[in-house]
Chain A
Amino acid sequence: MVTKTIFEKSVKNRTGFSLANSKIKTDVKELIPDKLRRKKQPNLPEVSELDALRHYIEISAKNHFIEKGFYPLGSCTMKYNPQINEMVCTLPGFTHIHPMQPEASVQGALEIMYELQKDLANISGFSQVSLQPVAGAQGEFTGVNIIYNYHKSKSRDPKKIIMPDSSHGTNPATTTMHGFEVVEIKSTDEGKVDLEALKEVVDDDVAGFMLTNPNTLGVFETQVKEIADIIHSVGGLMYMDGANMNAILGYIRPGDMGFDITHFNLHKTFSTPHGGGGPGNGGVGVTAELEEFLPSPIISKKEGKYYLDYSAENSIGKVHSFFGNFAVMVKAYMYIKMLGEKGLKRVAENAVINSNYVMNQIKEYFPVPFHDDIMHEFVASGKNYREYGIKTLDIAKRLLDYGVHAPTIYFPLIVKEALMIEPTETEGKETLDGFIEAMKIISKEAKENPEELKKAPTKPPIARLDETEAIKNLDIKFDFNQEK
């Protein structure tokens, strides 16, 4: 079922909006000189409120979302988003406050931010947290900038940041965007950082090391302390990409593993929804030594009053116009307050058990090359089906027919035909069993009826889409001339 664009539904002079006529009727031409006035009016649609709602409800039904079904998208931690968070964060005392209001008029907001800073510091084993970065990648940028400013403060100018070849794409992208040079090192056969390879590239020109722990293979880097010692021995700093923190909540803290900086993904670990791509929050935690470099302001408390604290003299400055994604912070705050320490530990336990359970059941069909010390996710391979002409893409698309969102595919790059599977803690055994069953059926289909599998998906509102055509005949906005 194809839905026309909203532009094709436009009817001249229809509107979905009412605004009282103003009693102030000065002629626009008197207020803006002719040369500054727009000549060609933009072509916005004209529809009624009902037209608009029908349109967006119709297309919304074409989405897969967490309340509809299982979402084992590796590295993305698609857990359930508690409804109470969504309800409370829309209270007017949160939605209708302006960032330039006097501090006395936003004490409730500042208290939430202060408490969240403190809770995240406790959860990560760090001394202070900035909530300002609004996404994981911006958290990384903030972290790398702190690394840069830390070295600068010591009159050093190292150029290199090291990371394993299994790292998230944002790690190398952030590093070069900031102005550092990326040094990638190979992983061992166990999927861990190769200490020998690391020692070979480490020298005085190393500014830091970026590591996700557990890493993107879902494997816990058991030698993380040794890695930290090697990096620290040349004056470098350890950065933890916090995307996989769900696996270790309450049990292991980045601050205790030898890391100096980490970012949190509130939109993964702390249950704030992903919004179809954002908004997120990529707050950054640091050791006491690095506190002075955090973005300003942080929220502090004095004589019972909360305030925006700009006192950090060596602050890297700002990464966001204001204080970050406040509405997202409210949800994460509530989540942590509802779970407490015991609840956070249950999260890690169930995330790890669910992942190991699924791996255990499907590895016979989809081998898992790196399977020791698996935590909250694992990476299986679809390579066994190449001989039947089946690619991981076909397997992923077939899963959509079984009502499951596909795992992350073709990442990390070091696993051939990768299927990165993260069940999360909120799923129950029956859901996992259903997924395992679907994977077994697909395995059978791949061998017995590969041609059918290549036609997948058949159940979603649309069949497989031609990405090559999208690039070749670039069509990224509606063509109003074509309509006529």
Chain B
Amino acid sequence: MPFISNTEEQIRKMLQTIGVSSFKELLKNIPDELFVKNNLGLDAPLSEIEIAKKVTQLSKKNISTQENINFLGGGIYDHFIPAAVDYITSRPEFYSAYTPYQAEVSQGTLQFIYEFQTMICELTGMDAANASMYDGASAAAEALLMAKHYNRKKKFLIADTIHPLYKEVIKTYTSALDVEIVYIPQEDGQVNIEFIKDNIDKDVAAVLVQSPNFFGIIEDMKKIDPIVHKQRRTLLIAAVDPISLMLLNSPAEYNADIVVGEGQALGNHQNYGGPLFGFFASKKKFVRKMPGRIIGATHDTQDRRGYVMTLQTREQHIRRDKATSNICTNESLCALAATVYMVLLGKKGLRKVSEQCLQKSHYLFDKINNIDGFEPAFSAPFFKEFVVRSDFEVDLVLRNMFEKGYFAGIDLTPYGYDDHLLIAVTEKRTKAELDNFAKKLEEDTKKLYL
């Protein structure tokens, strides 16, 4: 039997030592009615060679973003990942370890998380970061809950321009709580700041704004800051794209209190949408309200520097029903990928990636809007993703471009924006690819006119 070490002979000896004659005797007090009566209905077992073949074939039934040219974004991005990232994350020293409960034999995990926390703080300008959350959406939901625990207020103002799937997760997380959610409407793809001014009051626990937002547009966070912070203890939560932070205002520059985001763009594969990881950072004064694991530096009995899990009295395994969150398992290995990615790229490399995303997306934006039947949906500045409005049925355009070997973008119809197409451009796309894409899009849509 694969993956089991004991032989029949050993099992016999062990049962003898225990003092029973069979495995079933160990379960003698379990009522008969609880045991499975018939077969489970699973397939006959496959050998390693058979399963490898089967699953490899299944992988080939998928068309990957290595085959098609990819312009899909919407929270998951096709950035380049250096081979050294996967090399480190595929070390069993990291992937086959559990949560670092025994610090003395977990210094590898603990130290990389400390370095991860440091780099997340550097990117966001915050004082504290945790070891990761499940994804950007759950991080945003937990940030709202944290604000509520901090100021005991019950109303959330949330930008309507945040990722629609964040909205859905937030709805699930808050469905049974005594809270009120007010969505701040958008105007030209940005949150309506006047609406915040008119609707904020002393009962607002937090204002959540994403920048760049779901449409790729950069929000004017500096204008939002004073409106939010005029209210006593009301918090400003920013959801951000970490790649953008090399060029755009750091959340500290607009005085955010809590910063969250989807971290996949940092060295993690798309993996059909999971695993992802959320990052979570805040100003120092909120650290004791933070969800999730936090790693701290300390010393051993011989005064050598080492790392431990710290502030654990916030967590479920100590605090139970009084914990700041129920999170236990997180996305540690994804945080490792992000750590190695940020280290390899360094300040210059990551800035270059950020610049190329910006430049290339704007280049394609101009190209597409020069095609008859396409126009910019919004005029506000964007980062690496943009929306165009189309005279054609977006679904049809996407299907035709798929036939030509492109994942051309995301149809925004299901999100309430008929005829709108969301296109993401990363540093991986070359000028030739962008030119070709625009050309094919033009050829294809011309036919639709006829």
Contacts and interface: CB of A to CB of B under 8 A. Distances in A.
Interface residues of A, number: 202
A324 interface: yes
Given A36-B248, A177-B326, A316-B172, A357 B14 contact: yes
Interface string B52-96: 101111111111111010101011101010101011101111111
Given A274-B99, A350-B4, A28 B358 contact: yes
A178 B307 CA distance: 32
Contacts of B302: 463
Nearest to B264: A321
Which of A40, A224, A277, A343 has the most chain B CB atoms closer than 10 A to its own CB? A277
A380 to B, nearest CB: 16
A242 B23 CA distance: 22
B108 to A, nearest CB: 4
A14 B349 CA distance: 10
Given A36-B218, A173-B321, A47 B295 contact: no
Interface in A325-350: 325-328, 330, 333-334, 336-344, 346-347, 349-350
A472 B177 CA distance: 34
A31 B220 CA distance: 15
Interface residues of B, number: 206
A339 B272 contact: no
Contacts of B352: 19
Contacts of B107: 3, 59, 62-63, 460-462
A122 B27 contact: no
Contacts of A325: 271, 274-275
Nearest to A479: B118
Contact of B297 (A134, A271, A354, A475): A475
Interface in A341-373: 341-344, 346-347, 349-350, 352-354, 356-357, 360-361, 372-373
B269 A426 contact: no
B338 to A, nearest CB: 12
B275 A279 contact: yes
B333 A476 contact: no
Interface string B400-422: 00100001001000000000000
A38 B311 contact: no
Given A38-B248, A478-B118, A397 B104 contact: yes
Given A14-B346, A327-B275, A477-B114, A107 B61 contact: yes
Interface stretch (A83-91, A195-203, A231-239): A83-91
Given A49-B84, A95-B270, A340-B44, A467 B308 contact: yes
A106 interface: yes
A135 B134 contact: yes
Given A61-B93, A317-B168, A3 B111 contact: yes
Given A19-B352, A317-B168, A323-B274, A361 B17 contact: yes
B166 A321 contact: yes
Contact of B138 (A93, A320, A360, A476): A320
Contact of A35 (B3, B65, B222): B222
A298 interface: no
Given A42-B245, A340-B45, A470-B297, A31 B381 contact: yes
Which of A111, A319, A425 has the most chain B CB atoms closer than 10 A to its own CB? A319
A67 B93 CA distance: 8
A194 interface: no
Contact of A177 (B29, B60, B294, B325): B325
B104 A464 contact: yes
A482 to B, nearest CB: 11
B122 A42 contact: yes
Contacts of B178: 179
A425 B4 contact: yes
Contacts of B118: 5, 7, 477-478
A38 B30 contact: no
A291 interface: no
Interface stretch (A50-58, A381-389, A437-445): A50-58
B450 interface: no
B40 A123 contact: yes
A461 B302 CA distance: 12
Contacts of A57: 88, 91
A460 B104 contact: yes
A105 B402 contact: yes
A146 to B, nearest CB: 11
B45 A179 contact: no
12 contacts: A7-B118, A24-B363, A24-B434, A62-B107, A71-B98, A73-B98, A98-B270, A177-B323, A222-B31, A337-B54, A476-B114, A476-B287
